[in-house]
Amino acid sequence: MGPEPTALERTSQGTFQLCDRFRIASVGRSGAGKSSLINHIFQVNDAKVSHHEPGEANIYSEFTSETNPRFILHDSKGFEPADATTFNIVRDFIKKKSDKSLKLQDQLHALLLCIKTPIAGGRVVESGDEELLKLAHQLRIPVIVVFTQYDKLIRRHMVAKEKIMKDPKELRQWGETQAAQDFEKCVDSLEGAAIRLDLDTTPRYINVSGESSFALCMRRPDFAQVTQTYTGNISPLVTMTRKLVEEDLWATWARAQQVDLPLKIELCVAKGMDYYWRALAGGIPLVGDALLRETLVRVHEEIVACWNFKDMKSVLTCEEFKHLMVYVVQDMKNNNYPKSSPVEIDKINQFVTLCTAATASFAPPAAVLGLTFLFVKWLSDAALENAVDVQRVLIAYIVDLILIMEELFQIALQPKVFGRVSWEELQEAFHAYALTASPRNTHDRVRDLVGQRGGLHPDVYLIRKAVEELVRQYR
């Protein structure tokens, strides 16, 4: 009988079956940058939120993306002065979607209230926005106030001083400092609204910069590289949302978002360790005894699913990729194995070439990769038990797979790839990982973690944190 999983691991069990898409609503006036914001969070290029006249947007319409099918977007325009109709529509929608009798997948999971960062004074939070904040508070809908286009506020201050300040870094610092002081007025306005509405606390807020930041101060071309750094704060927004959503939904959010790498890794470790402890405790329905091979397959598929790649040809779940991963961890079977040798790039290249060749048949993957008969047989026959050799292989598999997926994540988000993966990108990810010291070092650390005689520490939380530390150290 294995240890009980942690609360974090328990909340990831079956979440994708209950709710496989994160449902989010955005509210904001036209030109507030909602499309850009959604495109950044979910790494899509087709989030064309509505551009109608005020009141015409239908918040009941569901926007989905072929590029990233793991979220559903509802969009509404902001509330113009004295526009009760639009507010009533949004209010009724939120009330209906906050009904806990609905299935989890049909409920509204989070709300983004998008407000353009003011650059020349004026009211920050309109009366309709205040009513929306009050409603979300009453219905316990996670809401974040997103002050968009913050870069324009920085730009305003930079332009005012660009003829005086010749040093780009000095000018940038000036713009940032002045913008931060101005932004405090936005915060004061939001805090004042929270007091008037008698909210328990000020709603969570953040400022983000849009794509226009790349065009700052075009009269000074030398500022181009400097101003690119303003585009951001999307990852902190994702982290903030993760902390606000219900525990039953954090895994769904972590999979849907495509910018916060630490959150992806947190989910992968929770999934991988969860399956190990559940299988060890007999909590996964299998025919006969729980086998190491079956557990590796399940762990592999669960971790791959966390990354939300557009894998049109199922490369990441095919048997060939799983054989490649087994090849990476085969040295972990015995603790007295010679210090981990580097993964052979030539062997990987040969294997990938065969996998992508026009001819469908080639030698068995195990033979091509040089997997020993004894190791393959042991992997197929070994019962999942609290044994050091089993633990070494499984934990090394989890860590190596996460690190390779991280490399693939960085590759897949390049504009030329845009989330799509094939053997070409996977091969590049293997190269990036294998050419570092990570395979050697992580395997040696796993040996230390498991120990030669005692096996894993019985505290599940400590083990999960140790695995997270392994990934963090070598990513």
- Is 17 a residue whose pLDDT tops 80? no
Tell me the pLDDT band of 446, cut-offs 50, 70 and 90. confident
Are the C-beta atoms of residues 110 and 241 closer than 8 Å to each other? yes
Mean pLDDT over the full length of the chain? 79
- Whether the pLDDT of residue 230 is over 50: the answer is no
Q: Scan for tokens 């407000």, then name that residue.
A: 115
Contact between 151 and 230 under an 8 Å Cβ cutoff? The reply is yes
* Strand ranges of the sheet holding 204-207, from the earlier edge strand across to the other edge: 71-77, 22-28, 110-116, 143-148, 204-207
Q: Residues 304-313: what's their mean pLDDT?
A: 90
What is the value of pTM for the model shown?
0.83
The residue ranking higher by pLDDT, 104 or 281, is 104
Phi then psi for 71, rounded to 5 degrees? -145, 155
Digit-coded pLDDT (tens) for 314-341: 999 998 899 889 888 888 877 665 554 5
Neighbours of 202 (CB within 10 A): 15
Percent of the chain with pLDDT over 70: 77
Statement: residue 4 has pLDDT above 80? no
Q: Is the model more confident about 279 or about 395?
A: 395
Residues 101-155 pLDDT 10s:
999 999 999 999 999 999 877 778 888 889 999 999 999 999 999 999 999 999 9
Instruction: Assess contact for 70 and 256: CB atoms under 8 A.
Output: yes
Q: List the domains of the chain with CATH numbers.
A: 19-252 (3.40.50.300), 260-474 (no CATH)
> Three-state SS for 236?
helix
Mean pLDDT score, 369-385: 75
Position with higher pLDDT, 372 vs 6: 372
Beta bridge partners of 159: none
Q: Put residue 198 in one of left, alpha, beta given phi > 0 → left and psi -120 to 50 → alpha.
A: left
406, 306 Cβ separation under 8 angstroms: no
Decide: residue 392, CB within 10 A, 0-12 exposed, 13-18 middle, 19+ buried.
buried
